[in-house]
Structure 1
Amino acid sequence: MMTSAEYLQAWLYYLLGAILLIGCWWYATRPIPWAELRHLLRLVVIAVLLIPWYTNTQQEYLSPAFLIAIVEGLFEGGDAFWRAGTPLLAGVAAVVGLSLVVLGVRWLLLRNRPEPAPAA
């Protein structure tokens, strides 16, 4: 059983690693020419890395949902994957949906913007 200090320390190490991984992913996606796709891919990775879920049904500790889903899917079967996989996929779907709404509003605003006058 972990103490609360060990639990907090584990999360701090995980968050540091996640920030480094997000930075590497940010750098790796720079060459993608479509800004919308680039931002969407970045948001999906951030959501997957940062969405937490309960480690065990009898404990109150949280862990990264993708890790719980992978471990339970591998060791307990495909049905166990969905205990943490459902909130993970719901979170990713929410991020994608909100991103698409923001991109749609941005597109509508930029479409109706008047074009600048040519320089003389």
Structure 2
Amino acid sequence: MDDGVASALAAFGARTQDVDAARMQAAPAAFEVYAENWDAVQLFEALSTQWRAVAFGTMASARIVHMGLDYAAIEPVARLIGIGKRRRPAVFQQLRVMEDAALAVLLAEVS
């Protein structure tokens, strides 16, 4: 979340604590990505809506557990964003490392 969102909340009369909480959630500073990882980062971002998830619920509560990326979407998306056929196996391995790290965070949020 950027400072613009927090400012908009303030302009629309949000409570001070909500505006402060929004400012605390500001996007982290920019970071560098090594050139050899750039394709994997782009692919991971392009697949951000392709997570497989399972919903569990009772009358008292509900939760969603992320299982991993939809692997059927990976190759077509890689093609569409211009990752060459020869490079795809290496990028796939990098993507799996990113997926594993993301799942560790997502599953920790459920616990």
Please indicate the TM-score interval, normalised by the length of the shorter structure.
Answer: under 0.3
Which entry has the higher C-alpha Rg, 1 or 2?
1
More helix per residue: 1
Structure with bigger strand share is: 2
Q: TM-score by structure 2 length?
A: 0.27
Task: Name the structure, 1 or 2, with higher relative contact order (CA <8 Å, separation 6+).
Answer: 2
